[in-house]
Structure 1
């Protein structure tokens, strides 16, 4: 079969969004999942991060949504808030021209705002298990129309102890549903989960042609515990990556590394579970957009950081198990790129690290032991490293920025309190000559404001016309919505 989205019978609207997002042809996992999903089968998918798996389930979800239905038809569960936000954004972007409304339900975000949004038309809910259960318990979400349920990173759900909550959620879902489970690793525990939720599943194991194992150069250095911070700095200077994530196991270690690097005039940001959600989101967005080079993080960052160009991953502290190691190093070498994974191992950890080595060997990858750089090599490399730290980084645009030329978001100075409905807005806009319903994107109505996306490059024409065109019996103040930092 021809390897195109068209051959997979993807609608013109979704293909248009995929083209804008630079998805030229389906990856292996996308081809396998989309075609199997179309047959109505339940799925268990083993696929490495960076293989395009989010789009693999986002595309069939978007394709199967009935736009007219106001209640959620699909639920996607993710182990961390960052991953949920990333998935929500991806589904929204892919469903942009089909006007798919996505609500992301995560902890440490306003429950009231989520409840308000759920009262509006909501096609897809992306959630962490705990926050979705909160909404179920409070009666603020209706799940009777859910036809599709996706569990992403099941192996991580298990290790984080979420399966009891997932069980409770499944009990609230209609029995007639299509289930898709995704996991980077397939230990017996994941197979057991699949057996529990799914009767007849299609198992898809994606063996990438250019396997991640071959694209990541994995090395380790034996270090003295007391010299670890200095050794990390030496290895940053030696490798001199354009960008890197430095993983530590505790907040205290994250802060120690940040303080040490600050003394060396190395700019880095931190990310850990003790931070406010808005700060975590800001740091991840800034990292994605190349506002800084080095991110120091606990494992909360191993999920949901979808950055194509992370050159290296440093394990300052070793992860608890081989699966976590796989997830960590999977932050580099994404989307067929190459990368480096560098681990600092103390003599006391050598036997623990051997388990990670064995697990990697099973995938065809080898972790090479290297010697720390000599003082003379370090001194030779230091000026090059320092010069790079002083250079301005090239800021990257957000994925959603590709829609900017085609889509204009308008703000109407009226909302629920003035009893404005989506139909009133659509009626006024389609009255404008040359504008049809196909030119109207997502409409969001809140208390005293309404936001509407105008598609197909027709925003300026609609904005001009709505200065005099009445909406629900009167002329409203209509302006271009403020573009956010990352739009």
Structure 2
């Protein structure tokens, strides 16, 4: 582990996770935010996408929360469900060896299931304003032990009209707390919100080593609606990216384009707001793993989603809102990598929108009249080629951890203490080998650390838990 992380006086379990996650050295935003949060100071930070912002607050939070406390100690308020779930996964990965549990609360998911999860030990919560407020008002989320409140992507919370809900949430928060606000811009609205919620905050405006305009090349091509699909094929075949995102304006357009590309032989899938949440998560996870190369999306995937090595973004349709161009472009050029954005502009109809984008972003949009000739054989060879599997962060810190399934839960009146007592009675197993325990109505899941999972399964098959003989085997999820 590099000494650069040791300067923050992090606990050994956090340092171990950072090493497994290949966090070689802190980014600029992490250099500034981690010490401030650890020292208990309120702060507001402006940082570009891909700067390591989530880890900047997740690392000190995971370091500071107490494992023994059952009630949530940190809350992260996000504008989207996808970002809430990504924060949950990042917190789980960073806090893996400290055995921390994180939950994501958002709409279109069963309230009762979330209520059950909140009754169990949960250290960190990430969620969207509406569902968070529901739990607070109904008393299913107890905020009394919260030490940290993070307001992530404050500008987007404002843009989406969530400010009143966030203000209602803040009214439930303990007066003694650390509050941090992160935003892509410090607009007048964001400054106004910060003045209400933060106490004499430290301010950080992160100047990236590599400016976004240096990392991302912006191009546009004049076309008409009838020629767009053929132009898309020309661009993708010429560029032949490993991973690409194509943005459409509507759900119907996304469905239609995905079908056409699929019929044409492209390795692709889609994501938009009309899909059920679990399906959206499945698609994003498959894209992150490299199961397919082209993701066709509406603006739902344009913000807060971190996918490694997206080298090309195509605006099949120009966005209706100017900030969306920045957020779409931000899917490439992340973490110091270069990227390219190509936008299709309908001749005679959209030049004014292009001018507005150029003025808003100050980006150097260069017109392309034609694409370089493509190596068609190389394009289709890559399309048929299995991508190198990208390892998810949580997998990197789970090599010696096995989640086991037990067919007994709340309905059989089983509690965490029953499992801990039985498992620690197994020869060679201690409480330090037991990770997150999740008890559902009819079953339970227990994470066993340090490579002892199969040993525990074998022993549990030969004993009883609270006098009950239960089925035990490796969990499928």
Measured against the shorter chain, the TM-score band is over 0.9
Aligned to 2:76: 76
Q: Residue 134 in 1 paired to residue 128 in 2? A: no
> 1: distance between equivalents of 2:339 and 2:209?
17
Shift of the alpha carbon at 1:473? Answer: 4.5
> 2: distance between equivalents of 1:259 and 1:441?
43
Shift of the alpha carbon at 1:275? Answer: 1.0
Residues 404 and 67 of structure 1: is their aligned pair in 2 closer, same or farther, counting only changes over 3 Å? closer
CA contact (8 A) 2:27 2:52 kept: yes
CA contact (8 A) 2:92 2:394 kept: no
Provide Cα deviations, 1:91-113, integer angstroms capped at 9, x if missing partner.
11111121212121111111111
Shift of the alpha carbon at 1:48? Answer: 1.6
2:220 is paired with a residue of what secondary structure? strand
CA contact (8 A) 1:73 1:145 kept: yes
> 1: distance between equivalents of 2:364 and 2:361?
6
Provide Cα deviations, 1:172-221, integer angstroms capped at 9, x if missing partner.
21222211111123333222222222131111111121233211121112
Alignment equivalent of 1:454, drawn from 448, 453, 457: 448
Shift of the alpha carbon at 1:382? Answer: 3.6
What is the root-mean-square deviation of aligned Cα atoms in Å?
2.1
> 2: distance between equivalents of 1:368 and 1:215?
15
Q: Residue 425 in 1 paired to residue 423 in 2? A: no
Aligned to 2:349: 348
**Normalised by the size of structure 2, how large is the TM-score?**
0.94
Provide Cα deviations, 1:62-81, integer angstroms capped at 9, x if missing partner.
12212222222211111111
Aligned to 1:15: 15
Q: Residue 257 in 1 paired to residue 257 in 2? A: yes
- Superposed counterparts of 1:167-186, under 5 Å: 167-186=167-186
Which piece of structure 1 moves more, 385-394 or 26-35? Answer: 385-394
Aligned to 1:367: 365
> 1: distance between equivalents of 2:232 and 2:93?
38
Shift of the alpha carbon at 1:226? Answer: 3.8
> How many positions carry a matched residue from both structures?
475
Aligned to 2:378: 384
Structure 2 gap segments, 5+ residues each: none
Provide Cα deviations, 1:260-318, integer angstroms capped at 9, x if missing partner.
32343323212111111111111111111111111111110113422111111111222
1:219 is paired with a residue of what secondary structure? strand
- Superposed counterparts of 1:292-303, under 5 Å: 292-303=292-303
Q: Residue 445 in 1 paired to residue 439 in 2? A: yes
CA contact (8 A) 1:245 1:310 kept: yes
Aligned to 2:207: 207
Structure 1 gap segments, 5+ residues each: none
> 2: distance between equivalents of 1:290 and 1:244?
11
CA contact (8 A) 1:74 1:149 kept: yes
Aligned to 2:330: 330
2:370 is paired with a residue of what secondary structure? coil
CA contact (8 A) 1:231 1:372 kept: no
Alignment equivalent of 2:388, drawn from 377, 394, 397: 394
**Normalised by the size of structure 1, how large is the TM-score?**
0.92
